[in-house]
Amino acid sequence: MGGPGSGRTGGMLTDKCEDYRPVDLAWLKRTGILDSWAWATISWSHGGEVHSSIQVRREHSGVRFRYRTRKPGDEWQDVNELMPFAYTHTNYGGHRRWFECLPCGRNCRILYGGTYYRCRTCWGLRYESQYEPAWARPISKAQKIRDRLGGSLSLADPFPEKPKGMHWRTYDRLKRQDDHLTSRWAAMTMDWIGKFSG
C-alpha cells in the first residue's frame, strides 16, 4: 500500500479513496471498540475488496494501532504506536475526548492513515471540490451546514450553537443532517470486521 511520500506529490491529496484510511474516534466509540479493551480489526474496502486493515486496542491512555506498512520498493515494516487521548472540558461540566496527534499535538477526532496515522493538518489534507473523493462528499456537506451556522468547519469541533434569530426547528434539522452525514462518511470508509483477543 502506498503512503505519504510514496511518489505522489502533496502527501495524501488524491481522488483515489483507497488511499485514505481514516480512523474516527466517534466511530470507535459507536462500534463498542473503545469499551471492549480487546484487539479489533478495522478494514477499508473499495469496490467490495478489502485493500487494507489495521488492528486497534483501547488502552488506558489512548488507542494502540498495530499494522504493517510498506512503501513501494521497500521492506514491510511493523508499526505499533499508541495514539494518546487528550481531554477538553465542555460547557456542561463534562469532558470531551480526542486523539492527540503525535507529531503536532493537535486535538483531533479523526486520524488519517498513510504510513503513519496523523491529523489532517499534518498531511496537508484539504477538501477542495476538484480533489474531493466520493468519501469526502458527506464531509463537505456537513461543513456547509457548519459554515451556515457560523461555526468551525472542522468536524472534530462540537456542532455549533444555534445562531440568534434561527428557529429551533431549522437548527434541529441541520443538526440531524450533520449527524447523518458524519455517520454516512464513517460507514463509507470504515468497516469493522471483528474482534479477537490477544
Which positions touch Zn ion (CB under 5 A)?
A: 101, 104, 106, 118-119, 122
Q: Of the two residues 120 and 146, which places its CB atom closer to Zn ion in the complex? A: 120
Q: Of the two residues 23 and 40, which places its CB atom closer to Zn ion in the complex? A: 23
- Nearest CA to 99 out of 147, 156, 145 is that of 156
Q: Of the two residues 99 and 178, which places its CB atom closer to Zn ion in the complex? A: 99
- d(Cα 129, Cα 19) in Å, to the nearest integer? 17
CB 121 to Zn ion: min, Å:
5
Letter string b/e over residues 169-196, b meaning 16 or more CB atoms within 10 A of that residue's CB? eebeebeeebeebbebbbeebbebeeee
Q: What is the enclosing helix (H) or strand (E) of 40?
A: strand 39-46
Q: Of the two residues 116 and 145, which places its CB atom closer to Zn ion in the complex? A: 116
CB 5 to Zn ion: min, Å:
16
CB 123 to Zn ion: min, Å:
8
Q: In the chain, count of helices (H) and strands (E)? A: 5, 10
CB 179 to Zn ion: min, Å:
26
